């Protein structure tokens, strides 16, 4: 698994859009020595940009999150005002996100919608699960390619629950390849020896620029691990 620096996709005075590498934790924690939050606070300052929200109060401008092993597009605000405006778009579901995953087995039908509620797993608080009484969650999907043992699938979540895509795919019987929390032990052992990560990638993101009002869309190239 590559643990490299984020790559800048887009930057202006209001925001920064990056391609987050797999293996980089987003928020600072006691168990992580170097995080995206650290990178933001050093690199944004070093690039001559005013970092007006250091520390946890404004999350260093991090608008949304990606799991440690998920790569792809991530948006960072440079001012508290832009952060609030962007978070509002996420809350109002005006942001369009597209992910790509490699999953186990042959996913059929080729397209559809998984709409089942998600809540925290009662037996393991570090995991989430489909359950009655959970929060509504919806994911549209479309198969892009079949392989002998896997399926390459495009995913468009309309809600943003924690681990939503991973939980929905597992519930559907096709967990993400290499997923340490939701794939079977034998399955993930082989995949993690080969790739060292789960194969989920945030490929594109579209939103309205909080300053100019223009519709913007950014893409992050699919990592080599997905190209079997």
Kindly report which listed range (3-17, 127-141, 167-181) carries the lowest average pLDDT score: 3-17
What is the predicted pLDDT for the residue at 70?
Answer: 98
3-state secondary structure of 93: coil
Does pLDDT of 120 surpass 80? yes
Proportion of the chain above pLDDT 70, given as a percent? 90
C-alpha to C-alpha distance for 189 and 179, rounded to whole angstroms:
9
3-state secondary structure of 61: helix
What is the predicted pLDDT for the residue at 56?
Answer: 46
Neighbour count for residue 211 (Cβ, 10 Å): 14
Q: Is the pTM of this model over 0.85?
A: yes
Tell me the catalytic residues.
67
pLDDT, tens digit, for every residue of 79-102? Answer: 899 999 999 999 999 999 999 999
**Residues 171 and 116: beta-carbon distance below 8 Å:** yes
Output the average pLDDT for the chain: 91
What is the predicted pLDDT for the residue at 47?
Answer: 61
What is the predicted pLDDT for the residue at 186?
Answer: 86
C-alpha to C-alpha distance for 21 and 170, rounded to whole angstroms:
23
DSSP letter, residue 97? E
Beta pairing partners, 181: none
Q: What is the mean pLDDT of residues 170-182?
A: 96
DSSP letter, residue 86? H
Does pLDDT of 48 surpass 80? no
In CATH, what is the architecture of 7-221?
2-Layer Sandwich (3.30)
Does pLDDT of 197 surpass 60? yes
Q: What is the mean pLDDT of residues 29-48?
A: 75
CA distances to 16, 55, 97, 150, 213 from 202, in Å: 16, 26, 7, 19, 23
What is the predicted pLDDT for the residue at 57?
Answer: 47
pLDDT, tens digit, for every residue of 149-162? Answer: 999 999 999 999 99
Does pLDDT of 110 surpass 80? yes
pLDDT, tens digit, for every residue of 60-73? Answer: 889 999 999 999 99
């Amino acid at each position: 698994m590559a643990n490299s620096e984020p790559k800048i996709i887009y930057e202006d005075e209001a925001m920064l859009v990056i391609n987050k590498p797999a293996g980089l934790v987003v928020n600072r924690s006691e168990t992580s020595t170097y995080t995206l939050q650290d990178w933001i606070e050093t690199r944004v300052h070093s690039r001559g940009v005013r970092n007006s929200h250091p520390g946890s109060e404004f999350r260093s401008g991090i608008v949304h999150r990606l799991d440690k092993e998920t790569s792809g597009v991530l948006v960072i605000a440079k001012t508290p005002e832009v952060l609030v405006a962007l978070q509002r778009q996420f809350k109002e579901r005006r942001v369009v996100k597209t992910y790509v995953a490699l999953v186990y087995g042959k996913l059929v039908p080729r397209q559809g919608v998984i709409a089942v509620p998600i809540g925290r797993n009662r037996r393991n608080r570090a995991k989430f699960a489909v359950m009655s009484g959970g929060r509504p969650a919806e994911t549209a999907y479309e198969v892009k390619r079949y392989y002998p043992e896997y399926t390459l699938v495009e995913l468009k979540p309309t809600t943003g629950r924690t681990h939503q895509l991973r939980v929905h795919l597992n519930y559907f019987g096709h967990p993400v390849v290499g997923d340490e929390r939701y794939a079977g032990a034998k399955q993930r052992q082989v995949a993690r020896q080969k790739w060292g990560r789960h194969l989920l990638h945030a490929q594109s993101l579209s939103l309205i620029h909080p300053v100019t009002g223009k519709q913007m869309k950014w893409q992050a190239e699919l990592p080599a691990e997905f190209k079997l």
